[in-house]
Amino acid sequence: MVLDMRLRKATMEDLPHIESLIADGRDHLAAQGIDQWQKTYPHQDDLIKDIKNGWTVVNVDEETGELLGTCAVIPGPDATYAEIDGQWLTKDATYVAVHRVSVSRAHRGKGLTSKLFQEIFDRVDTMPTIESIRIDTNEKNTAMQHIIMKNGFTATGKVTLKRADVYGVKNFAYEKLTANIKPEHIVQTEAAQ
């Protein structure tokens, strides 16, 4: 079955459905023995703040109106990304960070996360000031690592989380350049010189 989807900004009316999608993600991670999202994060306050700031997007089934997936696309700078054990692809570039990615358990395995990412990339490429997209995930979350890499991100190292409930946890970090990258903001590695 092919789902006809569209990406839109979330509203407060979507909150119960977004919480359900996050719960699906939390349960899925727990079933794999991954401790990501197993404490208080993401908390309802995080989700409300994201919606009120216009950062949350949802992928909606056009036919049924069902929310299939969600994430927050948050303008940088992100405190977690201020320091990295590794090297970002960019320096002094404007970026958005993708956080709190989750899809419906009823449709897991249908490529929804990739479709969600592709729609975000298409939108971000129309924003002339956004030069890259950053994301991170738990070291044990190999499924998300695979999806991130499959969707054109480059592994850049590890970042240390700054939230109280997981302070000090190190996640794998990734970055993807947008169509609007300024050449002077691309980090030149020694291998590339």
Instruction: Provide the CATH number for the domain around residue 76.
Output: 3.40.630.30
**DSSP assignment string, 23-84:** HHHHHHHHHTT--TT-SSPSPHHHHHHHHHTT-EEEEEETTT--EEEEEEEEESP-GGGSS-
The mean pLDDT value for 109-132 works out to 92
Task: Evaluate whether residue 70 is within a structural domain.
Answer: yes
Residue 193 lies in a domain: no
Give the pLDDT confidence of 1-43 residue by residue, as tens digits: 445 678 999 999 999 999 999 999 999 999 999 888 887 788 8
- Domain tally, the chain: 1
Residue 117 has pLDDT above 90, yes or no: yes
Domain that holds residue 142: 5-185
- Residues 178 and 115: their CA atoms lie apart, in Å, by 17
150 assigned to some structural domain? yes
Q: Is residue 190 part of a domain?
A: no
Q: What is the mean pLDDT of residues 46-69?
A: 93
d(CA 37, CA 27): 9
Residue 193 pLDDT exceeds 80: no
Phi, psi (rounded to 5 degrees) for 178: -100, 180
Predicted model pTM = 0.92
Which of 59, 66, 64, 71 is closest to 22 using CA atoms?
A: 71
Question: Is 165 within the bounds of a domain?
Answer: yes
Q: Does the residue 192 lie in any domain?
A: no
* φ, ψ dihedrals at 127, nearest 5°: -100, 105
Total Cβ atoms within 10 A of residue 182: 11
Question: Is position 51 within any domain?
Answer: yes
Query: For residue 181, which of 90, 97, 96, 98 has the smallest C-alpha distance?
Result: 90
Query: Is 88 inside any structural domain?
Result: yes
Cβ neighbour number for residue 110 with a 10 Å cutoff = 15
The CA R_g of the chain, rounded to the nearest whole Å, is 16
